[in-house]
Amino acid sequence: MAVSQTNFAWATLVEVGGPGRLHDRLAHALRTAIRDGRLPEGAAVPPSRALAEELGCSRWVVTEAYGQLVAEGYLAARVGSATRVAWSPEAVPRRPRARRAEARPAIRYDLAPGLPDLRAFPRRRWADAVRSVIGSAGHYDLDLPDPAGHAVLRSTLAQYLRRSRGADADPSSLFVCAGVTDGLVRTCRALAAEGITDLAVEHPGWARLRDAAASTGLRVHLVPVDDDGLRVDDLARTPARAVVVGAAHQFPTGTVLSPTRRAGLVRWARDVGGYVIEDDYDAEFRYDHHPVAVMQGMDPGRVFLLGTVSKTLSPALGLGWLVAPTIAVPALRAANPVAAAPPVLDQLALASFIDRGWYDAHLRASRRRFRTRRDLLLTTLATELPRARVSGTAAGLHVLLHLPDDTDTGAAVRAAASAGLRLVDLDDYRVRRSSDRALVLGYGNIGDTEIPAAVALLRESLTR
Ligand SMILES: Cc1ncc(COP(=O)(O)O)c(C=O)c1O
């Protein structure tokens, strides 16, 4: 459509303020107005003298700007006729609008495993810790960071792990990393560099660990889990020389590796000249007695210990640790030449949070909260779903809910999702299907008062 009027409020339309040369700013303002359609194709721009008067600049400024835009094809000048806009934004396909960050589906109740109580994140104390380290960090703390982690956090964590997890941990063999997954990738790279080609993981298990190990080029073998944890006899039949094990609380079955199996696993590692990689992801939470000490203390030369704050504080922090056998420390450094520890100020904040006793206090409060919530979940399930059976040690943040063999768990998960309840099928953690129909119910990230309504929705989803 040809538009011939030039009665725009030019001074408003082309805002020419800001830094830079005036004719460049005018050209930029006109170009922008043309690109976004405020100056439509065919519109005549004012004669250079008129626009110069309106903008209070010299005529030269306007002719320079027009000349530039003619050269770029935004304007067309014809002798004896007005200079007109020669370009239309519709002439090029519009760039698809950048989508906003993926919105999560509306979840009213969250019974998926994996999260601690995000509402109970100790915001005030964490903010205090961050504020205090920003104030107290020395100049050298802001230097290029040590890829193994800041010395202060390494020493705090080593002490914490000795005191609360019975680990044989020393700052010199402790690496700060972004969590268990990151720690596993680093460990696998080091093992691969040392000639290990095959690694075993538990089945069922968290696929991310499997994928993390496979991403480093190792061949991954699946080893079944029974009521005593990982089956060491089956492990011994694989070519693996390393194994990832959730000794304190296997995910997702919730079993604890029995004392005989623990000893058997360490013997296996010695026999094959291999390593155990202990995933201590949620071991701080045990409700029937004290948490079982880590296996790593049994043979620190054969066991790597991986830990995280993902289950105790929040996975958003991306902070964890890796305690390596002393002999493996050079290989870990060499095999991960560009792996960096998490941001130094976050590391120092965690050190301060632990040193001030706030981590222990948070763990104590969390244990109390989760113990009560687990009890409430179990009694509600027993009333609402009397045919279902719950399994899993009184630990961690999830239980298994075993359902009658004819249950379509996949359909139940979908029905629940459409009603705003998040559930996870045990099959999601299996590579091979099994006849055992079960859901993995997490109780970390749901309020106590929401449990009755969530379980009622769960029952409805199962009967739909
Ligand atoms: C079995 C298992 N290990 C470890 C983790 C924690 O991993 P990260 O520290 O990488 O968040 C999880 C989290 O869901 C898990 O399920």
The residue whose CA is least distant from atom 13 of ligand 1 is 114
Model-wide pTM > 0.85: no
In a domain, residue 210? The reply is: yes
Q: Stretch 413-429: mean pLDDT, rounded?
A: 96
Q: Residue 327: pLDDT above 60?
A: yes
Q: What is the mean pLDDT of residues 124-147?
A: 96
Residue nearest to atom 3 of ligand 1 (CA): 281
Task: Determine the distance separating the centroid of ligand 1 and the alpha carbon of 282, expressed in angstroms.
Answer: 8
402: amino acid identity, one letter:
H
Do 283 and 392 reside in the same domain of the chain?
no
- Inter-residue contact 304 to 279 (CB < 8 Å): no
101 part of a folded domain: no
Q: Cα-flanking dihedrals φ and ψ of residue 167, to 5°?
A: -85, 155
Same domain, yes or no: 19 and 67: yes
Domain CATH for 424: 3.90.1150.10
Percent of the chain with pLDDT over 70: 93
The DSSP secondary-structure symbol of 295 reads G
Cα(209) to ligand 1 centroid in Å equals 8
- What are the Cα distances from residue 109, in Å, to 112, 395, 440? 9, 21, 14
**Burial classification of residue 242, based on how many CB atoms lie within 10 Å of its CB (0-12 exposed, 13-18 middle, 19 or more buried):** buried
The predicted-structure confidence for 274-321, as pLDDT tens digits, reads as follows 999 999 999 999 999 888 899 999 999 999 999 999 999 999 999 999
Rounded to the nearest whole angstrom, what is the distance from the C-alpha of residue 125 to the centroid of ligand 1? 24
Contact 458, 385 (CB under 8 A): yes
Residue nearest atom 14 of ligand 1, based on CA coordinates: 114
- In this structure, the answer to whether residues 76 and 215 fall within a common structural domain is no
Q: Per-residue pLDDT averaged across 334-340, rounded? A: 91
Number of domains within the chain: 3
Give a yes or no: residue 133 inside a domain. yes
Per-residue pLDDT tens digits for 190-214:
999 999 999 999 999 999 999 999 9
Report CA-CA distances (Å) from 350 to 131, 152, 418, 453.
Answer: 12, 10, 38, 36
Say how far apart CA 194 and CA 174 lie, in whole Å: 19
Q: CA 304, CA 308: separation in Å to the nearest integer?
A: 14
- The sign one gets for the Cα dihedral 17, 23, 28, 30 is positive
Beta strands in 155-298 (DSSP E): 174-177, 198-203, 219-226, 229-230, 242-245, 275-279
Q: Look at the block and give the residue holding tokens 């020395």.
A: 138
**What pLDDT, on a 0 to 100 scale, did the predictor assign at position 2?**
38
pLDDT at 19: 75
Query: Do residue 385 and residue 316 come from a single domain?
Result: no
Per-residue model confidence (pLDDT) at position 9: 65
- Mutual orientation of helices 59-72 and 48-55 as an angle, nearest 10°? 120
Does 100 fall in a domain? no
Question: Residues 353, 383: one domain?
Answer: no
Q: How far is the CA of 319 from the centre of ligand 1 (A)?
A: 11
pLDDT of residue 1: 36
**Domain stops at, among 357, 379, 400:** 357
Output the residue whose Cα is nearest ligand 1's atom 12. 281
Instruction: Answer for the pair 43, 5: CB distance below 8 angstroms, yes or no.
Output: yes
Same domain? For 403 and 315 the reply is no
Is residue 104 very low, low, confident or very high in pLDDT (cuts 50, 70, 90)? low
pLDDT at position 94 is: 57
Is 102 within the bounds of a domain?
no
Q: Which one of 115, 251, 305, 445 would you pick to mutate in the ligand 1 pocket, going by the greatest count of ligand atoms within 8 A of its CB? A: 251
Long-range contacts, stretch 124-131, CB < 8 angstroms, 24+ apart = 125/353, 125/356, 125/358, 125/362, 126/313, 126/349, 126/353, 129/349, 129/350, 129/352, 129/353, 129/356, 129/358, 130/345, 130/346, 130/349
> Which of 2-11, 171-180, 351-360, 413-422 shows the lowest mean pLDDT across its residues?
2-11
Residue of 110, 157, 180, 243 to test ligand 1 pocket, by largest number of atoms within 8 Å of CB: 180
Mean pLDDT in residue range 336-351 = 95
Centre of ligand 1 from the C-alpha of residue 280, in Å = 9
Is the domain of 350 the same as that of 385?
no
Residue 12 has pLDDT above 70, yes or no: no
- Burial label for 287, CB within 10 Å (0-12, 13-18, 19+), is middle
Both 199 and 292 in one domain: the answer is yes
Listed residues 311, 334, 357: the one ending a domain: 357
Mean pLDDT of all residues in 409-438: 94
Q: Report CA(325)–ligand 1 centroid distance (Å).
A: 21
Residue 255: count of CB within 10 angstroms of its CB: 24
**What is the arithmetic mean of pLDDT over 171-188?**
98
Predicted confidence (pLDDT) at residue 15 exceeds the cutoff of 70: no
Q: Which of 118, 181, 253 to mutate to test the pocket of ligand 1 (most atoms within 8 A of CB)?
A: 181
In the prediction, which pLDDT does 98 show? Answer: 58
Nearest to 168 by CA among 305, 39, 40: 305
CATH number at residue 43: 1.10.10.10
Q: Please give the share of the chain, as a percent, with pLDDT higher than 90.
A: 77
Ligand 1 centre to CA of 310 (Å) is: 7
409 lies in which domain range?
Answer: 109-114+361-463
Single-letter code of the amino acid located at 435 = S
**What count of Cα atoms within 13 Å lies in the side-chain half-sphere of residue 288?**
6
- Using pLDDT thresholds of 50, 70 and 90, give the confidence band for residue 20: confident
Domain co-membership, 34 together with 148: no
pLDDT of residue 92: 59
From the CA of 308, give the closest atom in ligand 1: 9
Q: Does residue 353 sit in the same domain as residue 366?
A: no
Place of tokens 């106590």: 448
Mean pLDDT of 369-380: 97
DSSP secondary structure code for residue 235 in this structure:
H
Taking phi over 0 as left and psi of -120 to 50 as alpha, with beta for the rest, 195 belongs to left
Give the H or E element holding residue 210: helix 207-214
- Whether 103 is covered by a domain: the verdict is no
281 CA distance to ligand 1 middle (Å): 6
Q: If DSSP codes are grouped into helix, strand and coil, which group holds residue 318?
A: coil
Calpha distance 303→327 (Å, rounded): 11
- Interatomic CA distance for residues 251 and 248, integer angstroms: 10
CA–centroid distance, 392 to ligand 1, in Å, is 17
Q: What is the pLDDT of residue 100?
A: 63
Residues with CB under 6 A from ligand 1: 114, 179-181, 206, 246, 251, 279, 281, 308, 310, 315, 320
Among 327, 342, 357, identify where a domain stops: 357
In a domain, 168, yes or no: yes
- Average pLDDT over every residue of 205-232: 97
Domain CATH number, residue 172? 3.40.640.10
What is the chain's mean pLDDT, rounded?
92
The atom of ligand 1 lying closest to the CA of 181 is: 10
The CA-CA-CA angle for residues 355, 163, 191, to 5°, reads 100
Atom of ligand 1 nearest to the CA of 307: 9
Which residues of 98-173 form beta strands (DSSP E)? 109-110
Provide the 3-class DSSP secondary structure of residue 271.
helix
On whether both 324 and 404 belong to a single domain, the answer is: no
Q: Which tokens belong to 272?
A: 């094959």
> Going by CA atoms, what residue is nearest to atom 5 of ligand 1?
281
Q: Tell me the per-residue pLDDT of 50-88, one tens digit each, with 9 for 90 and over.
A: 888 888 889 999 999 999 899 888 999 888 888 999 988
**Ligand 1: which atom is nearest the Cα of residue 315?**
11
Residues 72 and 128 in one domain: no
47 Cα–ligand 1 center, Å: 68
Question: Looking at the domain assignment, is residue 174 inside a domain?
Answer: yes
Give the mean model confidence (pLDDT) for residues 255-270. 97
Degrees to nearest 5, angle at CA 173 with 250 and 179: 40
Ligand 1 centre to CA of 179 (Å) is: 7
